[in-house]
Every structure is written in structure tokens, then in C-alpha cells.
Amino acid sequence: MTQQVPLLINGELVSSRASEWIPVTNPATQEVLAQVPCATSEEVEQAIAAARNAFATWKETPVGERARLMLRYQALLKENHDEIATLLAQETGKTFEDAKGDVWRGIEVVEHACNIASLSMGETVENVARKIDCYSITQPLGVCVGITPFNFPAMIPLWMFPMAIACGNTFVLKPSEQDPLTPIRLAELFKEAGAPDGLLQIVHGTKDVVNQLLTHKDTPAISFVGSVAVGEHIYRTGTDHMKRVQAFAGAKNHMVVMPDAQKQQVINNIAGASVGAAGQRCMAISVAVFVGEAREWIPEVRDALAKVRPGAWNDPEAGYGPQINPQAKARILDFIRQGKEAGAECILDGSECVVEGYPDGNWVGPTMFRNVTTDMSIYTEEIFGPVLIALEVDTLDEAIELINNNPYGNGTSMFTASGAAARKYQHEIKVGQVGINVPVPVPLPMFSFTGWRKSFYGDQHAYGKQAVRFYTETKTVTARWFEDDIDTGVNTSINLR
């Protein structure tokens, strides 16, 4: 019998009463691994109610106790690291090494949450007026919600619920229905770490479940990672219902290659950053901008890409795995077709990719275009696949103008040997995350994940100090204690005295 993915409600893994189930398939074979339910409205309500009830006591839990829960949790995640990565690789198709990176980057955020006492500190000023002190404190919001995508089923949930719960909130997670087994395993380990019942709930489903979470009166904060169209809907719907929302959306990330860069490092890094994880990363490099004489390296970049071979998760020679589903593959192939029809030169075509032993896999081989104009769909749209576009400009100023005219602002990188050029680039570029001789500049958790422009809707970003601000409210207290019963008179002005 096919495994049925459970819900997590009030600390218990329970079978859903859903009438609609979605198959979870291995994208390399189309084998059905499990069936995931579309939770009923009543089940979503039960999850929110359980989280609301747990919040009443968890918000009073000392900050040190919350930190110790995260310490135990990160130890368990490390102990079970390879097991989680194996499960993740099987349901996403990622290579084992890539899956391990997914898990590890999530563990780093849990480690950051262990520092919640320092991160939550407020501010104090003594004698803002005579014998009057002012100080701020942070307090949790309540039931927070996370809606996560398929491409990082360990890392992105771990961006969200550990920070939210460490801040004193409770959490309802709606993971992707395409790979729900990894989040369930994360939840099992969280319970094993000693998390009280009700701190974390997991419900599954599609847009009906999402909309119920978005509009519910008891969910004050929503965190989302996904596409632009859905991100905009999440943001508008959530804010229309007076919720705090952070919605991480699409990307079109550029790498600028200067002619003074180390050529082999450029070639290696472009190849890895453009097709790693089958291009299914919001931080993937999908556009390489070659400046001046660096355009002469384009054939060598193509040759390096041609050597990257997709394959199954347990193939140690595979550079990346399949697309998550047949629809994603078909979408990428359609973009490749559009590029050819628009007149772009396809100098490497992975449309007919075949992996021996896996005839049913969602394979797309490394693909590269040259002679692309910025009005072509392969440039204006996020392809989310192993497709690299090579653009050529004469100067760094042209490269900066090109990137700043693109509506996305998630990540960018620059390869150069010039400190002056790097300084100019990082100062003038209108992108939230910049790498200098680093291809995929995802910041470590002591900083925040800071996409700009059309790549992000909201005010406060994920993890780091901004996550604490997102998951808490600031209360400012102005206090005076009278030493004796002295009549200071009536004060009708706003001034303190």
C-alpha cells in the first residue's frame, strides 16, 4: 500500500480525512513514493486552534528554555543529517551532495536561533527626562504561518519555524505538496528534541489551504517563498487582512565577468551556479554578462557546461538531478523553443537529454544561449532550469545599467581582480545580495536573506536580525517611580518633566 503522508496537529501525526490526495513522485523514475492529502478546512482549523492554545503557555516560556530546545534540535538534525538528505534526494531528485547542502544550510539557521536571548534584546535609556527611563521589549505575535516551495524542503522550512518559535510564537507550516516527506521528518525530530505539543503544526494541500491560512483571523504573520505571481497574491491577500507578510518571489540573477578575472575560476563557477540543482534555485545564475574581452571565454564556458551530466540522486558522477515534475520540464523546453524562434543562438542544447537507465526522468541537459536581446522571453522570464544566457557588453557601466533595468533584484555576482571595480559594482547595483568572486551569494544566518525589488514583497527579510523583527512586536515603555508624595502640578503639554 502506498504511504499516506500524515498531518501534524497538536503534537500528533494523524491521518487526514481528505477526499483529495496528490501523488508524491520520484522525478527520476515517476515512481509514486507517497500520497499527500489536501487537508480539509476542519483540519486546518484544528491546526490553527492547537497552535493558538499552545501559544498561551509558550509565550511565557523563559528565553533560555526556548534556546535550549533549539540546541537539542540542532544536535538531532546533525545526528540525522545524512538520513534526512537521503530522503530529500529521493523525493526531489537532487544529488546526494546537493541534498546534504540543503539540510546543512537549514541547520545553520537553527544554530542561529540558539542565540535568541541576545537577538531579542531591547534598548534602554536612563533619564530621558528627569527620573524617567525609557526601554523597549520584544514580544511574540502568536500563530505564524510558513508556505514553502519544493526546491529546498529542508532549508526553507528551517529558515522559518525555528526562528519564529524561538521568538515565542507557535507555527503552522504548509510545505510543498511535491516533497512533503522531508518536512515531516524535520517535525518528528523537533518533537524528539522536546518541543511541547502544539508548537509546530503541518498541514498539506494547495490553494484552498493556503487561502484559509492567509485569511484566518488568528494568523498574524505569513512567510512565503515561491514564484512572483503567487508571491504577489500572498502579499496582497495577507496585507489586505492586516497581516505581517514576507514573500520571497522570483529572480533573474546575473553574473558579471570582467576581463581581469581568473578565467578558470569564472568558467568553473558559472557552470556550477547555472545548472546546479537543475537550475531550480532562486539564487541560480541564469545570465552571465561578459564585459569586453571576457566575451572570448564564452566557447570555453559552453564546453564546461557540456561536460556536466545530469543523473540520479545516488550517482556520484551526476552534476545535478531531474526537474521536479514533467510540467516543469515541459515549461523549460518551451522556453528553449521560444529562444530559438526569437533568433537567439542556442550554442548548447539540452532539450533531448537522456539519462541511461532512467527513461522516464524529467531530464533537461545543460543549455546555453548567445546573441540574446533583453526583450526575449528567455531573458525576461525566470526559466528555473539549467539554461544559461550569455550577454556581451563593452563596459562595467553598461553591465550595471543592464542589471538595474531588470525588474528582479534577488542576487548577483561579479568576478574581477579589481577592488575598485568590485567596490563600484557593489555600491551601484540595485540587487539585495551581491557576491564578489562568489557565484551564489546566499548569506549565512547571522545576516539576512535580502532580495530586492520584484524578488521580494514585504519589509523584514528571512533569518538574521530581521527575522526577529518580523516575528516579534516591539513595545516601548516610559516609566517613572515617585520617591515621595510631591505635587508637581498638572502638565497639559506633551513634554515630560
- Residues designated as active site: 282
Contacts of 106 (CB under 8 A, 6+ apart): 77, 152, 154, 155, 156, 157, 158, 159, 186
Other CB atoms closer than 10 Å to residue 57's CB: what's the count?
12
Instruction: For 424-462, give one letter per residue: b (16+ CB within 10 A) or e.
Output: bbeeebebbbbbeeebbbebebeebbbbbebbbbbebbb
Spatial contact of 451 and 409, defined as CB atoms under 8 Å apart: yes
Q: For strand 132-140 and strand 143-147, is the pairing parallel, antiparallel, or unpaired?
A: unpaired
Q: Angle at Cα 163 formed by Cα 105 and Cα 462, nearest 5°?
A: 65
| Residue among 258, 289, 284 nearest 271 (CA) | 284
3-state secondary structure the chain: CCEECCEEECCEEECCCCCCEEEEECCCCCCEEEEEECCCHHHHHHHHHHHHHHHHHHCCCCHHHHHHHHHHHHHHHHHCHHHHHHHHHHHHCCCHHHHHHHHHHHHHHHHHHCCHHHHCCCCEEEEEECCEEEEEEEEECCEEEEECCCCCCCHHHHHHHHHHHHCCCEEEEECCCCCCHHHHHHHHHHHHCCCCCCCEEECCCCHHHHHHHHHCCCCCEEEEECCHHHHHHHHHHHHHCCCEEEEECCCCEEEEECCCCCHHHHHHHHHHHHHHHHHCCCCCEEEEEEEHHHHHHHHHHHHHHHCCCECCCCCCCCCECCCCCHHHHHHHHHHHHHHHHHCCEEEECCCCCCCCCCCCCCCCCCEEEECCCCCCHHHHCCCCCCEEEEEEECCHHHHHHHHHHCCEECEEEEECCCHHHHHHHHHHCCCCEEEECCCCCCCCCCCCECCEECCEEECCCECHHHHHHHCEEEEEEEEECCCCCCCCCCCCCCCCC
| Residue among 125, 100, 29 nearest 326 (CA) | 29
